[in-house]
Amino acid sequence: MKYADIKYYDIANGLGVRTSLFVSGCTHRCRGCFNENTWDFNYGNDFTEETIQEILESISPKYISGLTLLGGEPMEPSNQRALLPLLEQFKKRFPEKNIWCYTGYTYETDLLSPDGRAHCEATEAFLSYVDVLVDGEFDQNQYDISLKFRGSKNQRILQIQKEGCPQLFPL
């Protein structure tokens, strides 16, 4: 997997101060996307074990709330497989911190369903580590600058529960 950028001390992509990883590769190609260069799966830097360790180290300070995954598309099956070791290590090292994940896929139909567009052998484990999922493709016709942590009205901010029942995230 490749990644486009890592933003340290990010306050725009989730609650609190976070480290945000912008992965490369996205098949949605939403009109009006703010990050078109990340559509290309070959854009950017190689995602390595060294990258994972740098990200984890950046999250060590107590004032860092957690990790955010966006892109590109973290839930593309190839990206899920590559990111899973990061999520596993994150939760072992920082059980009190949280993971936010932005996806253009829809939680119930594209991710949970075995026939979903982005469902693969890594999806269940991947989602078990995610605390907050922002789902739905960006829709330029529903763009609203006043929305918190999302770009268009059709997108949802879901708090993923251990029982597998998502709830809208209280803002």
List the pLDDT tens digit at each of the 171 positions of the chain. Answer: 999 999 999 999 999 999 999 999 998 887 777 787 888 999 999 999 999 999 999 999 999 999 999 999 999 999 999 999 999 999 999 999 999 999 999 999 999 999 999 999 999 999 999 999 999 999 999 999 999 999 999 999 999 865 556 666 665
pTM over 0.85: yes
Q: Which residues constitute the domain of residue 33? A: 2-168
- Tell me how many domains the chain contains: 1
CA angle 143, 7, 19 (to 5 degrees): 95
**CATH number of the domain to which 26 belongs:** 3.20.20.70
Query: Measured between alpha carbons, how far is 63 from 60 in angstroms, rounded to an integer?
Result: 9
Yes or no: say if 64 and 19 are a contact pair by the CB < 8 Å rule: yes
Give the separation between CA 67 and CA 39, rounded to whole angstroms.
21
